[in-house]
Amino acid sequence: MEALKPNEGLGMEKNITKYRDNILYQPILKTGKTFYLSFAILSLVVLFAAFAYFKQFKYGLGVSGLNSPIFWGVYITNFVFFIGVSHAGTLISAILRISKAEWRRSITRSAEVITVLVLFFGLGNILIDLGRIDRLMIVILHGRFQSPLLWDVVSLTTYLTASSVYLFLPLIPDIALLRDRLPPGFRKSFYEVLSLGWAGTEKQIHYLEKGISIMAVTVLPIAVSVHTVVSYVFSMTVQPMWHSSIFGPYFVAGAIFSGIAGIIVAMAFLRKVYHLEGYFRDVHFNYLGILLLVMTCLWFYFTFCEYITVFYGNEPMEMSIFMEKMSGKYAPQFWLMVITCFVIPFTILANNRTRNVTGTVIASISVNIGMWLERFTIVVPTLMHPRLPYELGIYSPTWVEWAILMGCFALFTMIYMVFTKLFPIVSLWEVQEGREKAHGEVAERLSTYLPPS
Amino acid sequence: MKEGNESIRKKVILGLQISLLCCFYLFALGVFTFLACAIYRSVVNHDHPVHAIVLSSVITCAFLIITSVMTMVFTVIIKEGQRNARENGGAAHEGNI
C-alpha cells in the first residue's frame, strides 16, 4: 500500500512543495503574521483567565457565584459540555471508520484532536470547581467506588488514554512523512522519535492497521460509557428533575449532537484559515449537516420525553423546578436553549437550499451555544430547589467564572492552532489511500450487496 | 567521527522511543495500582467490595486492551524500523536516496 510508505528519502526536503498535498504541509512550514497576532490576542484572554483563577485560588470559591445550596454552576456546566464535545472524534472517526464511510478520510484527524484536547478542559474544570487543587489527592487516595464521582474519574481517565492512543496511531505514517521531508534540525529529530522508525513495510502496515481497528472498536463503548457515567453524577441522586432513567441516553445523544456541531465549526475554521477547500468540501458539510439534523430531532425527542413526564407526573418538588425553567428565573436560558438547539438548526438543516457550508456552520454555532445552555439549565435550577429543606438559592455567575470560561475556549483554540503547526490536520496517508484503492473497494462492496444485474 | 556521532544519535532516538512506551507502562501501572488499592480498601473496610471489584474489572479489561495495542504497535514498528535501517545500511530511508 503506497499511501503508507514514506516514499521520499532524506535530502528530498527541498521538494516538499512539489507534492500533491503540499497545501497540507504549508501550515507546518510557514507561519504568518495572522497566526502570531491571533496567538497574542488569545494569550491575553488566557492570562486574564489565569488571573481570575489565581484570585479564586487565593480567596476561595466565594469569589464565584457558587453558594449553598447551589454548589455547582458554570464549572460543572463546562465540564459536562466539554466532555460532550469530546464525542466528536469518536463519532466521526471510529464509527465512520468501522462503517467504512469513505468521506471520513479528510475529516477524521481534526475531529480526533478535538476529542483529546477538550477532555483536558473537561477535567480541568473539575479541578477548578474543587477550589483547592490538592483535593484531587483525596479522590485518588480515599476514593470509594460507590460514588459516581469516582466512576467519572476512572471512565474519563480510560477515555482520555484510549482517545490519545487512537489519535497517535494514525499519525505515525504522517509523522514519518514529515521526518523524511523536513530539513535536519530539532523538528526533524522530534519527528524521528515520534515516527518510531516507520518505513512502511508490510509488517508495520499490517500491525498498525490492526491496532487502529482494535482501538476504533474499543473507544466506542468507552465513549458511550463516559457520558453515561457523567449523567449518573446527576441521576444517581434523588434530586428532582435529575433522578431520571433516560439521563444516560439523553446525555449521550446530547454529547454526539454537540460533538458534530464542534467538528463542523472546527472544519470551517481550518478550511478558511488554511485554504483547505479541497479537503473539507461542501459534501462533507452536507453529510455532517444531515447527521446534525438527525441529532437535532433526537435531542428534541429526548427533551420532550423528559419534560412531558415531569409535567404529567405533577410531583410538587419537580414542578417547582419545571416552572422555574418554563416561566421563572431560568426561563430565558431555557427558551434560548430550545431556539438554539432545535428551532434554528432544524429550520436551516431541514432545507436543502440552506444546508450549505454557511448554513451548517451557523446551525453548529447555534447548537454549541444551546448545548452549553442545556447543561446549565440541567445543573443549576435543580440545586436552586433541592429536595432537602434548604433555603431557596440564587445563582448568578461572577466575572471570575466567565473569565475562566473564556480562557478555556481561548486556550483550546491556541493548543489546536499549535497542533496544526506540528502535525498535518488532514490525514495524508488516509487521503492518499482513498485515492489509491477506495474506488475499487467501494465497487467491490457494492457488488456484494446489490442484486446481480 | 561523524559515523560515531550518528550512531550515538540513533541510539538516543531509539532510547527515547522505548522510553515513550515505558512512560505509558508506568501510567498504566499507576492506574492498576489505584484500582487495586480501591479494592483493597473496600475489602478491608467491608465497604461494598462488589462495587469496587466489578468496576475495577471493567477498567482493567479496557486498560489491558489499550496496553496490548500499544505494545504490539510500538514493538513491531520499532523493530521493523531498526531492521529496515540495518538492511539499508543507515537511516530508515538512506537506501532510497
Give the C-alpha separation, A266 to A388, whole Å. 43
CB contact (8 A) between residue B80 and residue A197: yes
For A1, A223, A229, B60, the CA distances from B37, given in Å and listed in that order, are: 47, 25, 21, 13
How far out from the chain centre does Cα A326 lie? 29
Q: What angle do CA A193, A199, A424 make, to 5 degrees?
A: 60
Give the residue from A350, A368, A441 showing the smallest Cα distance to A405. A368
Q: Give the residue from B19, B73, B84, B87 with the most A CB atoms within 10 Å of its CB, the best one to mutate.
A: B73
Contact assessment for residue A435 and residue A33, using Cβ atoms and an 8 Å cutoff: no
Give the C-alpha separation, A368 to A269, whole Å. 15
- How high is the pLDDT of residue A80? 93
**Closest-CA residue in chain B for A13?**
B97
Residue for grid cell 477538550: A118
Give the residue from A259, A279, A280 showing the smallest Cα distance to A268. A280
Q: What number is the average pLDDT over the span B25-32?
A: 95
Q: Is B59 in the A-facing interface, judged by CB distances under 8 Å?
A: yes
DSSP letter for A32, please.
-
The pLDDT confidence band at residue B96, using thresholds 50, 70 and 90, is very low
Residue for grid cell 460507590: A146
- Asked if the model's pLDDT at residue B92 lies above 90, the reply is no
Give the residue from A426, A428, A418 showing the smallest Cα distance to A31. A418
What's the grid cell of residue A48? 486574564
pLDDT digits (tens, 9 = 90+) for A386-395: 887 777 778 8
What's the grid cell of residue A89? 472524534
Closest-CA distance of chain B to residue A403, Å? 33
Q: Where are the beta strands (DSSP E) in A89-208?
A: none
CB contact (8 A) between residue B63 and residue A161: yes
Closest-CA distance of chain B to residue A211, Å? 6
How far out from the chain centre does Cα A440 lie? 33
Neighbouring CB atoms inside 10 A of B30's CB total: 12
- How high is the pLDDT of residue A394? 83
The pLDDT confidence band at residue B89, using thresholds 50, 70 and 90, is low
Query: Out of A145, A193, A207, whose CB is closest to B38?
Result: A145
CB contact (8 A) between residue A10 and residue B82: no
Neighbouring CB atoms inside 10 A of A304's CB total: 11
How far out from the chain centre does Cα A286 lie? 20
> B26: helix, coil or strand?
helix
Low-confidence ranges of chain A (pLDDT < 70): 1-20
Closest-CA distance of chain B to residue A258, Å? 26
How far out from the chain centre does Cα A194 lie? 24
Find chain B residues with C-beta within 8 A of A210's C-beta: 72
Q: Which residue type occupies A221?
A: P
Query: Out of B66, B74, B91, whose CB is closest to A196?
Result: B74
The pLDDT confidence band at residue B88, using thresholds 50, 70 and 90, is confident
What is the count of residue pairs from A and B with beta carbons less than 8 Å apart?
A: 121
Query: Out of B51, B59, B73, whose CB is closest to A207?
Result: B73
All residues at 6 or more sequence positions from A413 whose CB lies less than 8 Å from its CB, including other chains: A42
Query: Out of A150, A195, A208, whose CB is closest to B73?
Result: A208
Give the C-alpha separation, A195 to B13, whole Å. 10
How many CA atoms lie within 13 Å of A317's alpha carbon, on the beta-carbon side? Answer: 14
pLDDT digits (tens, 9 = 90+) for A69-109: 888 999 999 999 999 898 877 777 888 888 888 888 888 88
What's the grid cell of residue A143? 476514593
- How high is the pLDDT of residue B78? 92
Find chain A residues with C-beta within 8 A of B62's C-beta: 158, 162, 218, 222
Q: Is A166 in the B-facing interface, judged by CB distances under 8 Å?
A: no
Give the C-alpha separation, A262 to B4, whole Å. 50
Q: Considering only A89-98, A275-284, B27-36, B46-55, which range has the smallest mean pLDDT?
A: A89-98
CB contact (8 A) between residue B81 and residue A9: no
Contact assessment for residue A111 and residue A92, using Cβ atoms and an 8 Å cutoff: yes
DSSP letter for B48, please.
-
Give the C-alpha separation, B60 to B56, whole Å. 6
Closest-CA distance of chain B to residue A221, Å? 10
Contact assessment for residue B8 and residue A189, using Cβ atoms and an 8 Å cutoff: no
Q: Is A151 in the B-facing interface, judged by CB distances under 8 Å?
A: yes
pTM for this predicted structure: 0.89
Closest-CA distance of chain A to residue B1, Å? 18
Query: Out of B34, B56, B74, whose CB is closest to A140?
Result: B34
Give the C-alpha separation, A314 to A308, whole Å. 10
Closest-CA distance of chain B to residue A268, Å? 32
